Structure 1
């Protein structure tokens, strides 16, 4: 089977699993543009990930597919994913009503929250699921290639990198409902940025550290430095997950003490409310700082100082999140008016407390 056809079959398998595996139904924060009713979502990400990864291990253990097949055929599978992302973009954007202009619509999208099969499939939810599953498979395959090359002297940094990244992916899918309240679902539309991004960029570029280091020998990074990488990663995770969880509880159960300790302190004009306590009193986008810290830890964990590839990942987060912070502040300023200005006076820092 050609690598191109195999990747298409793999994407199709994840779609079928997402379609048939039982999931729970939840109501999200976003409302349907036509009816104004809150959108409903069907969530089964962890189960689909578990089944797909389980099949990967069965295929590897039985010799049906080499453990490092995705690494060996990374160029062909990346090219195929690029083509699928472009086709998806054209298919979801062109039939919809124009908004800005063709190029802008192709990139940013026209439809806000497309759902199919009477809501059984949500486009954004599926895109993030396929991206997470494929990234997990790439990480496992790339690490397998390293272990096959150096079975007696593998790099602990490579193993730590895969372990931390895998934790990130499984944890993300475990909290699928929380992410329904984040910028991606609230503000973005489905076009090239999101469609090609999840079908191609997310599963392949996020693994860029292993693209450039999986075939390198053990750099013998001292264990204390690897421990500091893990500490930085979980510090970032606590900032990102803590902020998102606090916001989720505030949106769904506004009287609940976040983590049983943090009282929800708000700015209000009688109608609208802005959370200013806990994580959201540290900076206006403290979760972005957490994402950048995790990405930096993942780059550091590989321990190859002469390699620039791993640093593309945290650099990407800077390029992504700083403009997103500016756009999100603009949206909130328009939505909340004077209340947001008061929040900016109350919480001066945009992302990094004391710096930016």
Structure 2
């Protein structure tokens, strides 16, 4: 039997609170949901997607937001719930490779089913079947009811976050207490609800955090992009080169994410963050609703690029994606087997904790070279939407702030974990993002 003291050692009280605690968490929740509203009501066929917003536009946005009967739809909520349940069903019935995750604080290793790409292929076959039976109409409905579906995802994500927060207080044997996230055990219900109290909430064999990380949001993003492309074709009789430049890289990114599904098991989201509103909303709502902004804009405002611009944007997208993918693959190959011939030639330092930090190859260029590739890849998708409005660059601006914040969290965590070895590492790899620049 594990004593109360041992349980407290496993789940120490959170001292440091990110986002300035409950006040910042509340501001983030209100702010991000507000952004979804503002961007939809100010960037559409009627409003025209122009900044800055005049006082009359703000008044119109507030008026439309208060008229919840126009966008809270039981039909859309039903469809979104069925979408989530469909992917949860595939998680169990589609053949999967079962692997162990990282070793947790309690010495255990959870098992995960890797069948994201197979689930996507099954879902794609359904999408194609729907096309052959009903044509484009179901996808046009999705494009036309985008905001109702986005609001439904917010309702679902918030309900799920409330469930996992309350679920984290469930009775558990003293020999195996519920393992909480180190950052989510502050005792403040607002902050813990936001940041995630339990590390790996599971309902039976379904790991909610792992499932939501890659499936409903990532595949929903793909479905929205396809629907907006069909909407543009339905309205204008063709799909513009700008639409292809925006959605093809995003489709590749989504497929790549599912192809390398195993890599997510070593990310901060899975290893250290709890599953609360931040990840639930981010995975289920923010990703599909806001990452598809370029496709939604181009559906009613097509942009036509010259051959030079088309090839320039395509080359930027391809090059930055290769930086992102190759650097991440190199890191994961080294973590899996440092003696692999593909990475055995790389130089590294060994820390007092026993961890090995690469100081050559991609990771000798910059400490977060993958973030650099990821950001420029997103910038290429924004450039595809043209310069008629700065609103299409929201994704790039937001992603810049997100990566800076994540970089700060990474640096703080590594500084605390590796201590003097991190100082030595930073001397060997002095640049964070771009070699010889920053």
Q: Which residue of 2 aligns with 1:188?
A: 273
The answer to whether 1:242 aligns with 2:329 is no
CA contact (8 A) 1:88 1:196 kept: no
The answer to whether 1:149 aligns with 2:149 is no
The answer to whether 1:71 aligns with 2:143 is yes
- Summarize the alignment of residues 205-220 of structure 1 with structure 2, pairs less than 5 Å apart: 205-217=290-302, 219-220=303-304
Residue 48 of structure 1 deviates from its aligned partner by 1.0
The answer to whether 1:130 aligns with 2:216 is yes
Q: Which residue of 2 aligns with 1:320?
A: 402
The answer to whether 1:27 aligns with 2:100 is yes
> 2:389 aligned to 294, 307, 316, which one?
307
> 1:162 aligned to 219, 226, 247, which one?
247
Give 3-state SS (helix, strand or coil) of 2:134's partner.
Answer: coil
CA contact (8 A) 2:76 2:149 kept: yes
- Shift >3 Å, 4+ stretches: none
Residue 28 of structure 1 deviates from its aligned partner by 2.4
Q: Deviations over 1:117-148 (max 9, x none)?
A: 2xx42222210211111111111111110111
Give 3-state SS (helix, strand or coil) of 1:267's partner.
Answer: strand
Q: Which residue of 1 aligns with 2:366?
A: 283
CA distance in 2, matches of 1:223, 1:180: 41
Q: Which residue of 2 aligns with 1:9?
A: 82
The answer to whether 1:40 aligns with 2:122 is no
CA contact (8 A) 1:269 1:339 kept: yes
Mark the runs of 5 or more structure 2 residues left unpaired by the alignment: 1-73, 170-183
Q: Which residue of 1 aligns with 2:337?
A: 253
1:145–1:262: structure 2 CA closer, same or farther, 3 Å change rule? farther
Q: Which residue of 1 aligns with 2:428?
A: 346
Q: Deviations over 1:4-36 (max 9, x none)?
A: 32222222211111222111112223x234x31
| Corresponding residue pairs, total | 347
Residue 262 of structure 1 deviates from its aligned partner by 6.8
Give 3-state SS (helix, strand or coil) of 1:254's partner.
Answer: coil
CA contact (8 A) 1:263 1:277 kept: no
CA contact (8 A) 2:87 2:216 kept: yes
CA distance in 1, matches of 2:345, 2:141: 50
Q: Which residue of 2 aligns with 1:58?
A: 129
Residue 261 of structure 1 deviates from its aligned partner by 6.6
Deviates more, 1:69-78 or 1:308-317: 308-317
Residue 37 of structure 1 deviates from its aligned partner by 2.1
1:158–1:269: structure 2 CA closer, same or farther, 3 Å change rule? closer
CA distance in 1, matches of 2:326, 2:273: 23
Residue 320 of structure 1 deviates from its aligned partner by 0.6
CA distance in 1, matches of 2:421, 2:111: 30
Give 3-state SS (helix, strand or coil) of 1:353's partner.
Answer: coil
CA distance in 1, matches of 2:168, 2:267: 24
CA contact (8 A) 1:255 1:264 kept: no
Mark the runs of 5 or more structure 1 residues left unpaired by the alignment: none
CA distance in 2, matches of 1:348, 1:323: 19
Q: C-alpha root-mean-square deviation of aligned residues, in Å?
A: 1.8
Residue 211 of structure 1 deviates from its aligned partner by 2.2
Q: Deviations over 1:59-87 (max 9, x none)?
A: 12211753322111111111111100110
Q: Which residue of 2 aligns with 1:83?
A: 155
Per the normalisation by structure 1, the TM-score is: 0.92
Per the normalisation by structure 2, the TM-score is: 0.76
1:276–1:39: structure 2 CA closer, same or farther, 3 Å change rule? farther
CA contact (8 A) 1:28 1:38 kept: yes
Give 3-state SS (helix, strand or coil) of 1:264's partner.
Answer: coil
